[in-house]
Structure 1
Amino acid sequence: MALSAVASAREILTRLHDVMAKRLPAQAKLNAVVNIIGEALDSEVCSIYLLREGVLELFATRGLAQEAVHVTKLALGEGLVGTIAGNVETLNLDEAASHPDFAYRPETGEEKYHSFAGVPIIRRERAVGVLAVQHAAARKYDDVEIEALQTVAMVLSELIANADLIDVAAAGSGGTTRMQSTAAVRVSGFRIVEGMASGVAVYHQPRIVIEHTVAEDTEAERHRVYAAFDKMREQIDRMASQAEFGVGGEHDEVLAMYKMFAYDEGWSRRINEAIDSGLTAEAAIERVQQRTRMRMREIDDPLLRDRMHDLEDLSNRLIRIVSGQLGTAAQMGLRQDSILIARNLGPAELLEYDRRRLKGVVLEEGSLTAHVTIVARAMGIPVLGRVRDVKKLIAEGDMLLLDVGEESLFIRPTTATEEAFEAKLELSQKRRAAFAQLRGEAPVTADGHRVTLMVNAGLRDDVAALDLTGADGIGLFRTEFQFLVSATLPRQQDQQKLYRSVLDAAGDRPVTFRTVDIGGDKALPYLNHDENGEEENPAMGWRALRLALSRDGLMKAQARALIEAGAGRTLNIMFPMVSEPWEFEEAHALFEAQRTWLASRGRKMPAEIRYGAMLEVPALAEVLDILLPKIDFLSIGTNDLTQFLFAADRAHPRLALRYDWLSPSILRFMKRVTMEAQAAGVQVAVCGEMGGRPLEAMALLGLGIDRLSISPAAVGPVKAMVRSLDRAKLLEHMENALVRPQGSLRESLEGWAAEHSVELA
């Protein structure tokens, strides 16, 4: 905030403080407020709209017709005022009528005013009103004036709350008041960290309502913030050194970046500037947090939003410290097995909980790339994300059953549901124990054919799954995860350290490193890779090998890191999303150039480098005769391949149910690719979720594919299926089934498996 903005806000706040201290009716206070703001900003119109019974009502105005007060009403999303409240955003227009959401209200007499600026009045993260100014001249309001309006809107929130003018239903209950019946409910969400858990609902409650916003003594408030910063940084340092899941892994990088936010001078400076404007310490932190939150709503990049959540977590922590309030369940302690409910969580907040009592997490938001996801996975805590309306559906202390694998949360389950859940959990535990006993057994079919079962990985800690499952190696190591959790492009030596540690942990078992697959929906905030603006179809956009070849500096660094990490060993390199042979050739040439460069400097080389391609783009299947002589192995990526073949977004819930992996079109396509590759003497594998499902894996074996790279959890069930299977009979069945299929082969394969006693756990 510039000095003039600070001065403008302070002048208004000083006068507002006097008004709020007087014994006046709420309406009289609001009438005084609009005059104070209008005069301070030299604005001809200043109006306050408040949310009542679901609509925005004009409560006070200077400049508009007084007869419009309590008469003019706008729905959320209607007109400029409704747009501001609905989107919780600021508008600043030199010509209001030119905005597509402009709605004219003749009773207000506003037709002579051209310029318009409005900011939301926020209470508990929701808009409960709008503060707007207008001017006859067509001009945009200065940033100084907008800053002042936003600060004043925050103080107004306190005034109208104390006067009981806020629509409580609109403001939200804070997550502790039941707003629905006590009936059993099942809701769905997004699978973030797999697992099952049961426990009582506990609200994390990181938010604290600010009761006093206008400061009496600015210097005293500043000292309170300094002391709170010192205490918060001590907490973060202590947490980083005492993380109970041990040292090493990507979670170390997460906490390092989290510490970087905690020590960020820009953040503390903005809070100080807000205090200079006349706000209390709590209100200053909240003011900066509101600005961050509004920026988050404008950010399309999910990774950058996740980083902003870390800053929000720290803001909540700082407010709790400065106010002396214990605002989280972690600080009050969990008394029994619990499932945590939160809008979102920062990694440090999760680490504060007692792992013995915390059994699961349910988030209103959440994503696979959020920092809390990495920490939760390392701690072994199941997480279900994107669960809507949790505050309306769940009361503190409700019994919850969490089944992330089924993307389900059962609220206040019936006795029958509980019994079924417990039976499934017990069966799951028994199956895991049975699968664990197969760890030392080879995946050999009943008729003696050896199948290779590999695991997919992306974290250093995932390599432990090799010993836990008895897998043959890592068929897909996703190297992009290190890029996704870093604040800046990972240094070559950091990449090399990760790759070497993975190879060391794998021992003599093979590891296939997929070169970085970023871009599209996995954008990096520190790479401005999208020169053409937002992509409408990110999965089919500027990503993976396309992006890496255009950013050859990034790919050269990764090539050197991989080659040096693989010194003395066999190094398997796989390029993602190859669409045409020349792309593979260019990537191969880049790697070989780096090998030559390193060798010329006396660096120890890998004993062998094997190069492969991922077949995800259907076009590649039409030029296999050109590609196959150039590659050592081919991996079919079923996740992307399926959506490209069907022109169906795999994340779309309706389409996911419509198109089946066991459709003849998919199976015939894969059989053709497999036969052509095997005829050329090229090894074929399948990577992706399809190979991790026993029935689908059985179908793949029936196509002649005998190398699968799947999730660690799927190794046991798939191995059990393989060992119960007569492969020769299956090959014959699939050959006949694909001649004249009638729709999906799912039912016929299930029937065949039952008839031949194939274990499909």
Structure 2
Amino acid sequence: MPVSAAASAREILTRLHDVMASRNPAQSKLNSVVNIIGEALDSEVCSIYLLREGLLELFATRGLAQEAVHVTKLALGEGLVGTIAQNVETLNLDEAEMHPAFAYRPETGEEAFHSFAGVPIIRREQSVGVLAVQHAESRRYASEEIEALQTVAMVLSELIANADLIDPASAGGSTRLQSTAPELGHGFKLVDGMAAGVAVFHQPRITIEHTVAEDTEAERHRVYAAFDKMREQIDRMASQAEFGVGGEQDEILATYKMFAYDEGWSRRINEAIDSGLTAEAAIERVQQRTRQRMREIDDPLLRDRMHDLEDLSNRLLRIVSGQLGTAAQMGLRQDSILIARNLGPAELLEYDRRRLKGVVLEEGSLTAHVTIVARAMGVPVLGRVRNIRQLIAEGDMLLLDTSEESLFVRPTPAMQEAFETKLELSQKRRAAFAQMRGVAPVTADGHRITVMVNAGLRDDLAALDLTGADGIGLFRTEFQFLVSATLPQREMQRRLYKDVLDAAGDRPVTFRTVDIGGDKALPYLNHDEDGEEENPAMGWRALRLALDRDGLMKAQARALIEAGAGRTLNIMFPMVSEPWEFDAARDLFEAQRAWLAARGRKMPTEIRYGAMLEVPALAEVLDVLLPRLDFLSIGTNDLTQFLFAADRAHPKLALRYDWLSPSILRFLKRVTAQAQAAGVPVGVCGEMGGRPLEALALLGLGIDRLSITPAAVGPIKAMIRSLDRAALIEAMSAMLAEPGRSLREGLEAWASEHSVELA
């Protein structure tokens, strides 16, 4: 019969406290534990399995055959118990035999039991065992019973640790001797840059030694005091962050503070204390639930936000336990590269920026709050580096090069010398490119090329003056949506767009309407009502989503029109597949313009509408669409993967995703010629235009407008100024007439022969 989670757990913990305090042998304690749990939950079977030498061994049971104790063993992933331990998940089954992972062990006598529930026993975020109950009748266990089991499993973790029953290798330890040889790690570039320093582990985790409370009210007061101190820290940190005014970092820290003041979080911790846990154990219990939800969440953006809550949980644990624990609080003594599984934005801000040279994460993503804050701080970050603790030891010398997505561990003198040479050369090139800020991108034969930057954050606006770019060819408006905990209000959007236009001054800015959905799903927008999309890149996203949720697009249209008052406003619609979609989006904007004008609002002097060509189908109806366009922009990133039917993130298809393939270049040449013949300006925005050799190919197709990452402006300007455009166009025509597998070698040879700078 279902019971109150708190009451049931409190009853069990009260009895377990006496067992844990006794001087009985470990086996005797475990035998008592399964009887206590079984009686409290009215369960016919209660069993404890512990991980020893890689196998889950039945250590104690009430209800199964006693002869099976220390005999029945399951590998990780084998059977229901092995599945729970491997996946660190809970199973609740009314018919155990129906589960695909069920494995029958005749020596246990378990054939008499139908229902099964099991929870992992966790120590330092690793499964070290499983607690399971079974009944003869077929039924699912109530949520209160599962909650009680999970709480008891926390206490069991302490008991078996104190009894030395945890295999070190099973609890996150390692018998592997740390190598002294050089090694190379690979990851994913989150923030660009190079850095050298010693490895310093962030180490935010606290080991909880006592889980059962002696005095519930005393534990509650400890948590209240810790919450007050944590909130003071966050408020102080937010007020001292040195980012300037109005950046996305402000919104990130505001979201972070929202978690810190969340009453639901503090209430859940209080409920855990009610069940008989200490303050530390209650925080950890709620944190375990959060991690469990994170494992079940497919949405990467929502997982990123859950990392912020984990960061706060770690902070609260350190305060309530009196343990400092992080490298930030110990202080960095020399140039350092920080190593962590993941970080919250506030944890990163605690580090001395004079000493912190780079960050390496086991997890991390481009939209994580810590990534955006690190970018504002100018700290290079490499994410998704696996097996960090097996690869790196505290104090190892590290060389970080995120442009190569590489991490050199314990480099040899020769490797260090090569790295320093590259770093010095990179710094010299950056200095040389910076000197070109005021130099126009004009080819050697006198043709002016328009070079603009892609942007999406307020921090990106500084790149206009730093690079001397002609304007912003692509402002990704979705970034504001991605870093916000809730849908950005129209006034917040308007302020951002006005700030962008003010920063640009007389230079043009092209705003791409929000491109969300697909791999940029928003946790606060239920975009997937029909279930998970198998191919989100080609699913309900971008303009498709915006036209369907037209309230979102109307709010954005009003914000853009109001922000563009008295100026020329350039609006670009993403992922247009057919002319009617462009018409519908433009009509929506025009309706909002009329609505605002009727209310006396100041209007833009002109609104220019453009389309982004990413879907190949649009190329087949360009003759219909071009007369309605003010400009056309080719988005090479999505376009190329759609043309090749090759996911650009798939490592096995990386070589197939070649921008210098004849099929891609011929397609681009046809589209460019058609747009130019119609008198419609055509440009390219995307990674292709930011790579000197690929940009050379685009110029050879007659394209003279590029929108690229700010870091690429200098190299692209240098390439343009060393180039005879007319000769290149002639050479490209010849290459495309009789192409090989790729034009890469031919273009490299031509560039070398004509002294084109491809730095």
Partner residue of 2:750?
752
Cα deviation per residue 1:63-105 (whole Å; 9 max; x = unaligned)?
1111111111111111111111111110101110111111111
Q: 1:47 and 2:79 equivalent?
A: no
Q: 1:385 and 2:383 equivalent?
A: yes
Cα deviation per residue 1:514-560 (whole Å; 9 max; x = unaligned)?
00000011111111111111111010010000000000000000000
Partner residue of 2:19?
19
Mapped to 1, the partners of 2:738 and 2:387 lie a distance apart of 47
Partner residue of 1:657?
655
Partner residue of 1:552?
550
Deviation at 1:180, TM superposition (A): 3.4
The answer to whether the 8 Å contact 2:478/2:515 transfers is yes
Aligned amino acid, residue 381 of structure 1: V
Instruction: Give the 5 Å matches for 1:685-700.
Output: 685-700=683-698
Mapped to 2, the partners of 1:617 and 1:189 lie a distance apart of 30
Partner residue of 2:118?
118
Q: Which runs of 5+ in 2 are unaligned?
A: none
The answer to whether the 8 Å contact 1:9/1:277 transfers is yes
Cα deviation per residue 1:694-724 (whole Å; 9 max; x = unaligned)?
0000000000001000000000000000000
Partner residue of 2:28?
28
Mapped to 2, the partners of 1:173 and 1:239 lie a distance apart of 34
Deviation at 1:112, TM superposition (A): 0.7
Partner residue of 1:148?
148
The answer to whether the 8 Å contact 2:50/2:129 transfers is yes
Aligned amino acid, residue 367 of structure 1: S
SS in 2 for 1:573: strand
Deviation at 1:725, TM superposition (A): 0.4
Partner residue of 1:571?
569
Mapped to 1, the partners of 2:612 and 2:604 lie a distance apart of 22
Partner residue of 1:521?
519
Instruction: Give the 5 Å matches for 1:638-657.
Output: 638-657=636-655
Partner residue of 1:57?
57
Cα deviation per residue 1:628-667 (whole Å; 9 max; x = unaligned)?
0011000000000110000000001121123311000000
Mapped to 1, the partners of 2:657 and 2:402 lie a distance apart of 23
Cα deviation per residue 1:319-363 (whole Å; 9 max; x = unaligned)?
000000011100110000000000100000001000000000000
Partner residue of 2:214?
216
Mapped to 2, the partners of 1:708 and 1:653 lie a distance apart of 27
Q: 1:96 and 2:90 equivalent?
A: no
Mapped to 2, the partners of 1:309 and 1:444 lie a distance apart of 47
Deviation at 1:169, TM superposition (A): 1.1
SS in 1 for 2:196: strand
Partner residue of 1:602?
600
Partner residue of 1:238?
236
Mapped to 2, the partners of 1:423 and 1:509 lie a distance apart of 37
Q: For 1:286, which of 268, 284, 287 is the aligned residue?
A: 284
Deviation at 1:24, TM superposition (A): 1.2
Aligned amino acid, residue 569 of structure 2: L
Mapped to 2, the partners of 1:659 and 1:604 lie a distance apart of 46
Mapped to 1, the partners of 2:118 and 2:36 lie a distance apart of 16
Cα deviation per residue 1:464-514 (whole Å; 9 max; x = unaligned)?
100000000000000001101111110000000000000001100000000
Mapped to 2, the partners of 1:544 and 1:254 lie a distance apart of 24
SS in 2 for 1:725: coil
Aligned amino acid, residue 201 of structure 2: Y
Partner residue of 1:483?
481
Mapped to 1, the partners of 2:498 and 2:512 lie a distance apart of 15
Deviation at 1:391, TM superposition (A): 1.1
The answer to whether the 8 Å contact 1:694/1:760 transfers is yes
Cα deviation per residue 1:566-597 (whole Å; 9 max; x = unaligned)?
00000000000001111000000000000000
Partner residue of 1:424?
422
The answer to whether the 8 Å contact 2:644/2:656 transfers is no
Mapped to 2, the partners of 1:285 and 1:277 lie a distance apart of 12
Partner residue of 2:436?
438
Deviation at 1:187, TM superposition (A): 1.1
Mapped to 2, the partners of 1:416 and 1:3 lie a distance apart of 67
The answer to whether the 8 Å contact 1:193/1:376 transfers is yes
The answer to whether the 8 Å contact 2:3/2:145 transfers is no
Q: 1:196 and 2:198 equivalent?
A: no
The answer to whether the 8 Å contact 1:178/1:394 transfers is no
Partner residue of 1:531?
529
Partner residue of 2:540?
542
Inter-CA distance 381–3: structure 2 relative to 1 (3 Å threshold): farther
Mapped to 2, the partners of 1:173 and 1:248 lie a distance apart of 44
Deviation at 1:178, TM superposition (A): 6.8
Mapped to 1, the partners of 2:693 and 2:483 lie a distance apart of 35
The answer to whether the 8 Å contact 1:309/1:344 transfers is yes
Cα deviation per residue 1:149-191 (whole Å; 9 max; x = unaligned)?
00000001111111111121121139xx974321111111011
Comparing 322-331 with 240-249, which one deviates more in the overlay?
A: 240-249
Q: 1:271 and 2:269 equivalent?
A: yes
Deviation at 1:245, TM superposition (A): 2.3
The answer to whether the 8 Å contact 2:211/2:281 transfers is yes
Aligned amino acid, residue 598 of structure 1: L
Cα deviation per residue 1:432-464 (whole Å; 9 max; x = unaligned)?
011011111000000000000000000011011
Instruction: Give the 5 Å matches for 1:301-700.
Output: 301-700=299-698
Q: Which runs of 5+ in 1 are unaligned?
A: none
SS in 1 for 2:4: helix
Mapped to 2, the partners of 1:451 and 1:735 lie a distance apart of 20
CA RMSD of aligned residues (A): 1.0
The answer to whether the 8 Å contact 1:178/1:395 transfers is no
The answer to whether the 8 Å contact 1:179/1:392 transfers is no
Q: For 2:182, which of 181, 184, 197 is the aligned residue?
A: 184
Mapped to 2, the partners of 1:752 and 1:722 lie a distance apart of 14
Cα deviation per residue 1:669-708 (whole Å; 9 max; x = unaligned)?
0000000000000000100001000000000000000100
Q: For 1:714, which of 712, 715, 719 is the aligned residue?
A: 712
Mapped to 1, the partners of 2:163 and 2:415 lie a distance apart of 46
Aligned amino acid, residue 598 of structure 2: S
Comparing 243-252 with 54-63, which one deviates more in the overlay?
A: 243-252
Q: 1:257 and 2:255 equivalent?
A: yes
**What is the percent sequence identity of the aligned residues?**
86
The answer to whether the 8 Å contact 2:178/2:393 transfers is no
Mapped to 2, the partners of 1:714 and 1:173 lie a distance apart of 44
Taking structure 2 as the reference length, the TM-score comes to 0.99
Aligned amino acid, residue 173 of structure 1: G
The answer to whether the 8 Å contact 1:628/1:682 transfers is yes
SS in 2 for 1:738: helix
Q: For 1:723, which of 705, 721, 724 is the aligned residue?
A: 721
Deviation at 1:135, TM superposition (A): 0.3
SS in 2 for 1:705: coil
Aligned amino acid, residue 158 of structure 2: E
Partner residue of 2:226?
228
Mapped to 1, the partners of 2:467 and 2:460 lie a distance apart of 11
